[in-house]
Chain A
Amino acid sequence: MAKDVTLKINNISVTVPEGTTILDAARKAHIVIPTLCYLKDVSCVGSCRMCVVEATGARGLVAACVYPVAEGMEVRTNTQKCRESRKMTLELLLSKHKKKCLSCERNHNCELQKLSLGYGVDEDRFKGEDFVLPIDDSAPYVVRDNDKCINCMRCVSACRKQHVNAIGPIGRGFNVHIGSAFDMPLAESVCVGCGQCIVACPVGALSERSTIDEVWKAFADPTKKVVFFTAPSIRATLGEAFDMPIGTNVEGKMVAAIRRLGQCEVFNMDVTADLTIMEEASELINRIKTGKTMPMFTSCCPAWVKFIEQSYPEFIPNLSSCKSPQQMFGALLKTYWCEKHHIRPEDLFTVSVIPCTAKKYECHRPEMEGEVNAAITTRELARMIKTAGIEFTKLPDEEFDNPFSIATGGATIFGATGGVMEAALRTAAHMLDGSFEVLDFFAVRGSNPIKEATYLVAGHTLRVAIASGLENAVKLLEQIKSGEKKYDFVEIMACPGGCVNGGGQPTLSDSVRNDAELKDTRAKVLYVSDGHNDFRRSSNSPVMDMLYEDYFIFPNSHKAHEVLHTTYKKDKRI
């Protein structure tokens, strides 16, 4: 164990383990040191020079985010020298920043803006050479406006952490900009669309390609019937966009708000999470019994699927053939629901609300085009609610529309890492052994990057593994490839912590992210909801009974395959 050191920060005595940075020690003393390039768990490069402080024993100002504390050190974080240096840094950054703040989607939620205000900068103090870089909107998942970029490298770090490495710094000196190799459009690069770069960006340089206008247009079109369905994790995060505490369940207000956007049905996407489990658990049992291509990988995360297709195509047969809940819902609406209500599928405008930017790409995959007409992120929904003048926090709680309102707790926890696995285990174990009543699989819960467990069900040993964050997925893949590890079922979510921490979730500033346990606090909402649900196993859902009785007959039936399953293709990229 590291020994403790005691130091003084602004005359306040703090004791922290040896090796702690000044930034972390200051946080312990409740002193906030401003940062731009630093982001907990993601980026720590000490390049922006915003966090400079005076420390005894150091020559000049030091970067608090990387400078380790020492016994007896005296640190000053708020001297004239520090303030002047930070102000100058900001003014230099602003000299080449496209200051289109009024219409910027990060207005009021921009770290550069917040600091500029705090330090009273003159944004035009330095007149830099105008440097106009093209906007890259080649991909639906990430749009890059490099004229707003401050080269903090947080997106690059996030991408490296994801083991994707689609982007990096290009060039040198004043010409440095962030982009894909050979400045190729992002859509042609190895990017998987997870959007972790967007939530890491301190300014408005990165965003999803918005489809809000298409949704407003559909609302205004009398020939269109609009249907919304919301992913499990939206209820756990949407409140943050309205300054509600992290970890507030806003399911009722979310439904009420969407209803007030325009004439539409509001459905619960958890229903097709249940449907995914019915299909996936049956597929798993089938694979176990036939011994066909093990382990089976979950396929509900489109960034993960894209990653496999591009970087590990040899594992394509291991992916479950099940569509993701988003695509299952779109397909279900355009077939079953349209048939039932005598609506032409082309007159139905389906809108998914998702925590994810890769889902914007998924709904345009040629195998599934047209099932989901618009996929909007949590951020986009929040923007629509604000535009519509809805006072979100004062809304009453309302319920989803029938027949797709009731879903199980197993479906709700899809939004957190380990959730799909737990939901699948609940149903698969019960399918294998009708007397198997266990509903809580604690070993697969929590935001640990890699989790493993073994269960014995009806004479079958089920070895399972869960990874979130592609960095950890790669570790698992390599172990499986080398034969070091053997599993039967593997759940992967591309984003660290799963969908609750998805690339489409509300962007929280570094000061919040550096302090909060974002992933766990958001995930807790889903597990609490699961615990309160009367139905916890997907196979017990009355909606599943209805769907299989009415339409699909049984899981993995011909009809189910036609509507609910899909295919993948190799798309090797370097």
Chain B
Amino acid sequence: MKECKGACGTPEQAAKLKAVIEESRSVPGCLMHILQEAQAIYGYLPMPVQKTIAEGLNISLSEVYGVATFYSQFSLKPKGKYRVSVCLGTACYVKGSDKILEKVEEELGIKCGDSTDDGLFSLDSCRCVGACGLAPVMMVNEDVHGRLKPEMVKGILDGYRRNEQ
């Protein structure tokens, strides 16, 4: 991923990030916390945000990037308006959630971890949402869709698409 196109955020977001860095920089091991806050502010961790953090903490960009890519909770790409998350936990997996994930990938035309070009959907996998009784499960934002079959995927996604029209 290269520098994000155009402005990477609002002045308000930049001020918030600055405040978070100022507040935590003296705490040992603060990088994780700052990255979490930054992701909450921006929704993801683009290069300029990581550079600001590196400069603010006087550590290298490669160190920040190493941590940001190690933890799956951090995203380097903006998330979609609808965040699709397919559970690959044990119960869902044995009930064939890998097929569900494949179908969503096919339907959205993106790979797990990516976002659609129109910014509407992003796709991730997760481990257990605590709804094993409904396996296989996928979540779209806060909505839980259970007892899925691959052929149901299109209809569910179309529902969200219709919301936008």
User: Which residue numbers of A lie inside 8 Å of B, CB to CB?
Assistant: 164-172, 180-182, 189-190, 574
Q: Which of B50, B63, B72 contacts A168 (CB 8 A)?
A: B63
Q: Is the interface of B mostly helix, strand, loop or mixed?
A: helix
> When chains A and B are docked, how far (Å) is the Cα of A380 from the Cα of B70?
37
Residues of A within 8 A of B2 (CB): 182
- Closest-by-CB residue of A relative to B64 is A181
Residues of A within 8 A of B66 (CB): 168-170
A501 to chain B, nearest CB (A): 23
Residues of B within 8 A of A181 (CB): 47, 50, 60-62, 64-65
Residues of B within 8 A of A170 (CB): 65-66, 69
Determine if A166 and B62 form an interchain contact, defined as CB atoms under 8 angstroms apart.
yes
> When chains A and B are docked, how far (Å) is the Cα of A431 from the Cα of B59?
44
Residues of A within 8 A of B51 (CB): 574
> When chains A and B are docked, how far (Å) is the Cα of A181 from the Cα of B1?
10
**Are A165 and B62 also in contact (CB < 8 A) when A182-B1, A574-B51 are?**
yes
Determine if B70 and A167 form an interchain contact, defined as CB atoms under 8 angstroms apart.
no
Determine if A168 and B70 form an interchain contact, defined as CB atoms under 8 angstroms apart.
no
A-B contact pairs, 17 of them (CB 8 A): A165-B59, A165-B60, A166-B60, A166-B62, A167-B62, A168-B63, A168-B65, A170-B65, A171-B69, A181-B47, A181-B60, A181-B62, A181-B64, A181-B65, A182-B61, A574-B54, A574-B61
Residues of B within 8 A of A574 (CB): 51, 54-55, 61
Determine if B60 and A190 form an interchain contact, defined as CB atoms under 8 angstroms apart.
yes
> When chains A and B are docked, how far (Å) is the Cα of A166 from the Cα of B47?
15
Residues of A within 8 A of B64 (CB): 181
> When chains A and B are docked, how far (Å) is the Cα of A574 from the Cα of B60?
7
Determine if A168 and B1 form an interchain contact, defined as CB atoms under 8 angstroms apart.
no
Residues of A within 8 A of B69 (CB): 170-172
> When chains A and B are docked, how far (Å) is the Cα of A170 from the Cα of B63?
9
- Closest-by-CB residue of B relative to A171 is B69
> When chains A and B are docked, how far (Å) is the Cα of A104 from the Cα of B60?
32
> When chains A and B are docked, how far (Å) is the Cα of A456 from the Cα of B1?
56
> When chains A and B are docked, how far (Å) is the Cα of A428 from the Cα of B142?
75
> When chains A and B are docked, how far (Å) is the Cα of A189 from the Cα of B47?
13
A412 to chain B, nearest CB (A): 36
Residues of B within 8 A of A172 (CB): 69-72
B6 to chain A, nearest CB (A): 18
A166 to chain B, nearest CB (A): 6
A2 to chain B, nearest CB (A): 27
> When chains A and B are docked, how far (Å) is the Cα of A170 from the Cα of B60?
13
> When chains A and B are docked, how far (Å) is the Cα of A300 from the Cα of B25?
37
> When chains A and B are docked, how far (Å) is the Cα of A171 from the Cα of B62?
12
Determine if B60 and A171 form an interchain contact, defined as CB atoms under 8 angstroms apart.
no
Residues of B within 8 A of A164 (CB): 60
- Closest-by-CB residue of A relative to B62 is A168
Mark each residue of chain B from 54 to 86: 1 if its CB lies under 8 Å from any CB of chain A, else 0: 110001111111100111100000000000000
> When chains A and B are docked, how far (Å) is the Cα of A505 from the Cα of B50?
36
- Closest-by-CB residue of A relative to B63 is A168
> When chains A and B are docked, how far (Å) is the Cα of A534 from the Cα of B114?
70
A99 to chain B, nearest CB (A): 27
Determine if A171 and B70 form an interchain contact, defined as CB atoms under 8 angstroms apart.
yes
> When chains A and B are docked, how far (Å) is the Cα of A166 from the Cα of B54?
13
Residues of B within 8 A of A167 (CB): 62
Q: Which of A165, A182, A189 contacts B63 (CB 8 A)?
A: A165
